[in-house]
Amino acid sequence: MRLLPMFPLSTVLLPGELLPLHVFEPRYRAMVADCLEHEPHDFGVVLIARGSEVGGGDERTDVGTVARIEALSRSQDGRYALLARGTNRLRVEEWLEDDPYPQATVLLFEDAAVVDQVAFANALDVARAAVMRVESLLSEMSGEEPSGRARSPDFDTGHHHDDVPDGDERWELCRRLPLGPLDRQRLLTAGDAVERLSLVAELAGEMRDDLFRLLGQG
């Protein structure tokens, strides 16, 4: 168990992902100041299921991600501009009073160990191919070359994403799909790697079908 300051947002932070934040609300400015007093400079991010980021009174999901502050600047009026990176997943065990900002006791967790390596390899291949098809269609629509970063498990993680616990290609593929927050939350809460990769392939297939229709090929 771990006590963490929490920052409910209208977006989902995935492990390995960078999160830029402009912190202007007084309670969250206080949260950042408190985070900076402790090492590591961590806070939790969860998706707001209903409500707004500003003012409180929101309904929050119970699975999120630990965010670690990597860079920060403070303006003269006390606002912060910061860059944080997602690390471990967390599950909220208990919410504390918002005094002045949200806090919760959380349990950090990772994927269950891969038991069937063949099933995992197959799911990874299918998900990788599905993501590449989406990237190819998106590049056709934009006129830009596809990134091709899903071609090999040895892709460069130095640009935008980095290694984290559980942070191999199973998360890289999740981050690359341009999904909405509810689908990203489904990926975040998946119980194991094979389940998550299967969901990546399913969501990529749905996105591919939508893109085909937009291109007039479906």
69 or 210, higher pLDDT: 69
To the nearest whole number, what is the mean pLDDT of the chain?
Answer: 87
Tell whether the model's pLDDT for residue 173 goes beyond 60: yes
Distances (CA, A) of 39 to 42, 54, 58, 155: 8, 27, 29, 31
Q: What is the pTM of this model?
A: 0.84
Cα-to-chain-centroid distance, residue 69 = 15
Extents of the domains making up the chain: 2-109, 117-215
Give me the pLDDT at residue 159, please: 33
Give me the pLDDT at residue 56, please: 59
**pLDDT band of 216, cuts 50, 70, 90:** confident
- CATH code of the domain made up of 2-109: 2.30.130.40
Tell whether the model's pLDDT for residue 32 goes beyond 70: yes
Q: Distance (Å, rounded) from C-alpha 20 to C-alpha 43? A: 14
Q: Distance (Å, rounded) from C-alpha 175 to C-alpha 52? A: 24
Cα-to-chain-centroid distance, residue 66 = 10
* Burial of residue 47 (number of CB atoms within 10 Å: 0-12, 13-18, 19+): buried
